[in-house]
Amino acid sequence: MKYNIAVIPGDGIGPEVTEQAKKVLNAVGVVYNHTFIYDEGLMGACAIDETGNPLPNDTLELCKRSDAILFGAIGDPKYDNDPSAKVRPEQGLLKLRKELGLFCNVRPVKAYDKLIEKSPLKKEIISGTDISIFRELTGGIYFGIKELSDDGKVAFDGCSYSVEEIERIAHLAFLEARKRSSKVTLVDKANVLETSRLWRKTVTKLAKQYPDVSLEFLFVDNAAMQLILNPKQFDVILTENLFGDIISDEASVIGGSIGLLASASIGDSTALFEPIHGSYPQAKGKGIANPLASILSAAMLLNHLGLVEEAKAIERAVEKSLELEITTVDINSDKPFSTTVAGDFIADYVQNQQDTDMNFQNIYLGQSTII
């Protein structure tokens, strides 16, 4: 089959990790007989520099007509340190999410056995953790009314949610729970926020349609604590936009590195796949960025296109790279490999999945691992 993939490398380490994901997709293409046609678009700080607009119309149109979107990262320190900037790179991503109706962001968090020692958390606490975070992505305080008083002394961010916005992501979370351990935990702040009370009411009602799935509630402050005290208690976490942003970064510590966490944003039209790590500008161009989150995002992209076997091939290759420690410095400080070599290994392994056919010596020489 032929697939049109919109590629948005973005800022910082975005381009270098996305390059590895493309390389791995190409390897999948060779083995399973698919053609991935990539078309690049600008978004973020690089788009502002070139066009003045963080999401040029060309990029939006490209995304709309593609089968899927592979995105790198967004953000640049020159905007982070300038609160008065009129245009910000992040506006590009937020607009893209809104325009494409990408209301559901899925962030899987898994403790890989091989990396258990890399996490600052105790291994008996994190071992066996397997969570899927469902973060609402096009509503809440991110998209509410924003105001600053004329004298600049009072600021306002509004937060609103409708029953419809809550229901559509809740259905997806319950359906996912059915394929997993049949438990949904709704994370909210219903003891304080009106929007959270609407989430609880709506989700409680909707849960009756899924009697085989159990539903639990946690206030977000408690959830933040439970996530590192006893992460194994979670299966699917369902939550609103801001809480999901915060707890998914927190949860990444369980996996040993934020460089491993992939995500899928799905909704009304073309779905988008991206690592949850940011643009990590300090690492840009140094060849030290971990490509695994981007590569695992490509696996989620394949799953979304119904290419389940193909996605599994990538996941197996990633596990092999972890097992053999052909990984970057964030998870391999003793003998780190570069972004490109880590990506090469995974692409090679996808193309040649028999251990016996691999020449692991070559990897140290920066050569292909296929004999």
In the complex, the residues that contact ligand IPM under the rule CB under 6 A are: 74-75, 90, 93-94, 245, 276
Do 161 and 103 contact (CB within 8 A), yes or no? no
Closest distance of CB 265 from Mn ion, Å: 12
**Secondary structure element (H or E) that encloses residue 241, with its range:** helix 241-251
Nearest CA among 42, 48, 54 for reference residue 14: 42
Catalytic residue among 39, 80, 130, 245: 245
Closest distance of CB 73 from ligand IPM, Å: 8
233's CB contacts (< 8 A; 6+ apart) are 226
Q: Which residue is nearest to ligand IPM (CB)?
A: 90
Closest distance of CB 281 from ligand IPM, Å: 13
Catalytic site residue 344?
no
Nearest CA among 89, 97, 94, 7 for reference residue 48: 89
Catalytic site residue 245?
yes
Name which of 23 and 107 has its Cβ closer to Mn ion. Answer: 107
Name which of 74 and 186 has its Cβ closer to ligand IPM. Answer: 74
Site string for Mn ion, 231-270 (x = CB under 5 A): --------------x-------------------------
Nearest CA among 193, 203, 293 for reference residue 248: 293
Catalytic site residue 188?
no
Residue with tokens 């003045």: 52
Residue 90 sits in the site that holds Mn ion (CB under 5 A) = no
Catalytic residue among 22, 23, 118, 189: 189
Catalytic residue among 3, 142, 280, 349: 142
356's CB contacts (< 8 A; 6+ apart) are none
Catalytic site residue 76?
no
Nearest CA among 310, 311, 309, 291 for reference residue 300: 311
Tell how strand 35-40 and strand 214-219 pair up: unpaired
| Whole-angstrom distance, CA of residue 249 vs CA of residue 169 | 20
Name which of 56 and 92 has its Cβ closer to Mn ion. Answer: 92
371's CB contacts (< 8 A; 6+ apart) are 357, 358, 359
Closest distance of CB 110 from Mn ion, Å: 18
Catalytic site residue 320?
no
Q: Which residue is nearest to Mn ion (CB)?
A: 245
Q: Give the total of residues touching Mn ion (CB under 5 A).
A: 1
Name which of 10 and 29 has its Cβ closer to Mn ion. Answer: 10
| Whole-angstrom distance, CA of residue 130 vs CA of residue 69 | 25
Identify the DSSP state of 143: G
| Whole-angstrom distance, CA of residue 63 vs CA of residue 78 | 27
Closest distance of CB 75 from ligand IPM, Å: 6
Catalytic residue among 221, 268, 355, 357: 221
Name which of 39 and 90 has its Cβ closer to ligand IPM. Answer: 90
Which pairs from 365-370 meet CB under 8 Å and 24+ separation?
366/341, 368/344, 369/344, 369/345
301 CB neighbour count, 10 Å cutoff: 28
Residue 74 binding partner per list Mn ion, ligand IPM, none, with a CB distance cut-off of 5 to 8 Å that depends on partner kind: ligand IPM
Closest distance of CB 272 from ligand IPM, Å: 10
Residue 44 binding partner per list ligand IPM, Mn ion, none, with a CB distance cut-off of 5 to 8 Å that depends on partner kind: none
Residue 207 binding partner per list Mn ion, ligand IPM, none, with a CB distance cut-off of 5 to 8 Å that depends on partner kind: none
Catalytic residues: 142, 189, 221, 245, 249
- The residues binding Mn ion (CB under 5 A) are 245
